[in-house]
A = this chain, B = another copy of it.
């Protein structure tokens, strides 16, 4: 079951630095891409940063719609993450990555971007336009306007992956090499 995550706790979905998928939709076109460079920026209202290359088709859709979703994928999805991270939706004619790769989605609540089923958390984002950052650094800043999580691994503001190794979040290094989020440690 998916539950809504309190906005003041939304940063915890990204705080441990997982690799994420960015999805967006504009004017009937939709796309999804992988991004390792996403980061929390503020607590409440929650803001995030994400780096999106100028060549990315998703960037076009984000700049046009001014909204996007961050989907937090899990171990069971590494091959999908790799696939959507190494192909461009721009190369697909009369189809998109979702139908091409059999990816099921569900609707966001506050924005129009497709949310990917099978992920373990989702953040719905509204772009805070910062043309200098976007043009110079490919750096996008957004406010998180809604957040959701798979209650099997995140509830009451905390991740709890024990017993759900396939639902652990993932951390990309390079070339399809990932680490799963590991054991919990309390300082």
Given contacts A15-B174, A179-B184, A183-B179, whether A49 and B39 have CB atoms under 8 Å apart is yes
**Which listed residue (B41, B82, B168, B185) contacts A139, Cβ 8 A?**
B41
Q: How far does the Cβ of A104 sit from chain B's closest Cβ, in whole Å?
A: 20
Contact call A75/B185, Cβ cutoff below 8 A? yes
Residue of A37, A47, A78, A159 with highest tally of chain B CB at under 10 A: A37
| A173 at interface by CB-CB < 8 Å | yes
Contact call A158/B173, Cβ cutoff below 8 A? yes
* A181 cross-chain contacts in B, Cβ below 8 A: 171, 179, 181-182
**Which listed residue (B41, B81, B157, B182) contacts A183, Cβ 8 A?**
B182
Contact call B184/A12, Cβ cutoff below 8 A? no
Contact call B40/A185, Cβ cutoff below 8 A? no
* A180 cross-chain contacts in B, Cβ below 8 A: 182-183, 185
What is the number of residues of chain A that contact chain B, defined by CB distance less than 8 Å?
Answer: 48
Q: How far does the Cβ of A138 sit from chain B's closest Cβ, in whole Å?
A: 8
Q: What 10 new A-B contacts, CB under 8 Å, besides A36-B40, A78-B185?
A: A15-B172, A16-B179, A17-B18, A41-B51, A41-B139, A170-B185, A178-B184, A179-B182, A179-B185, A180-B183
What are 29 residue pairs bridging A and B, where the CB atoms are less than 8 Å apart in the complex? A15-B36, A15-B37, A15-B173, A15-B174, A16-B19, A16-B171, A16-B172, A16-B173, A17-B17, A17-B19, A37-B40, A38-B39, A41-B137, A49-B139, A75-B185, A82-B187, A133-B133, A137-B141, A158-B174, A158-B177, A159-B173, A171-B181, A176-B187, A178-B185, A178-B187, A179-B185, A180-B182, A180-B183, A181-B182
